[in-house]
Structure 1
Amino acid sequence: MNDAPACPLIDVAATYMPRLSEFSFEPGLVAAVDQHAAAVCDALLPARRGPEGRTVRREELADYVLGFTDWLSEAEWTEPAGHDFATLRLTAVCWLIREHDLLDA
């Protein structure tokens, strides 16, 4: 029996991955999500810049998501109908999950 908690990326992807389909309808959303994805990468990989690019690791992104969602819970955040900082950040996490194929890891 496996008592390990489920990877938080699975829940985030299930909830926010569908927002990536909005890219074709909202061009500004692409830019906003790209900026948030860059900010997440900066938080995860501040010293790993260079010609080899950045490699986002599942464990590091999962830790980031746990911290971010804990902060949202403490702030009693509720998801709005549109896009706020938190939804953009979580959508950016989904973009990173997809781009780095982190659910199949």
Structure 2
Amino acid sequence: MDISPTGGPDGPAADCPLVEVVAAYLPRLTEFAFEPGLVAAVDQHAAAVRDALIPAPRRGGPGVTLTTTAGAAGSTPVRREDLADYVLGFTDWLAETEWIEPVGHDFATLRLTAVCWLVREHDLLNG
């Protein structure tokens, strides 16, 4: 799936903060094949982000899992605007704490990788 902004660098998502995060952290999703524990960690972070963005009534309440795709019955898609706002706040916090990306995985890299997973699963940069 191509998750680049529609229409190239001037597409509708070109100025979205998600583009920069996807460019930096999407390659980490390829590590899933080699690190099974990473899948679980990223899934937990994605669930936490989704819970922060989507109130329980809109989510459909308990029992709705993140592993369903955006179009699946019973799932509520994450909205690009909501996730972009979340990313702006999170990356501002990282800048304030003078965070430096480690070689491995820490809380921030897992969270940003989860954001990429959500962008991909909900097709947030196309259209």
Is the TM value for this pair above 0.5? Answer: yes
**TM tier, smaller:** over 0.9
Gaps of 5+ in 1: none
Which of 4, 7, 14 is the equivalent residue of 2:16?
Answer: 7
RMSD: 1.5
Paired with 1:76 and 1:89, the residues of 2 have a C-alpha distance of: 16
Higher percent of residues as helix? 1
1:13-48 deviation line (CA, Å, top 9, x unaligned): 000000000000000000000000000000000232
Distance, in Å, in 2 between the alignment partners of 1:12 and 1:103 is 12
TM (normalized to structure 2)?
0.77
The within-5 A match list for 1:25-104 is 25-47=34-56, 48-50=58-60, 52-104=74-126
For residues 63 and 95 of structure 1, what CA distance do their matches in structure 2 show?
Answer: 16
What TM-score do the two structures reach when normalised by structure 1?
0.92
> In the TM superposition, what whole-angstrom CA distance separates every residue of 1:39-92 from its partner, at most 9, and x where no partner exists?
000000023222632210000000000000000000000000000000000000
Count the aligned residue pairs: 102
Task: Give the share of equivalent positions with the same residue, in percent.
Answer: 75
Whole-angstrom distance in 2 between the partners of 1:55 and 1:24 = 25
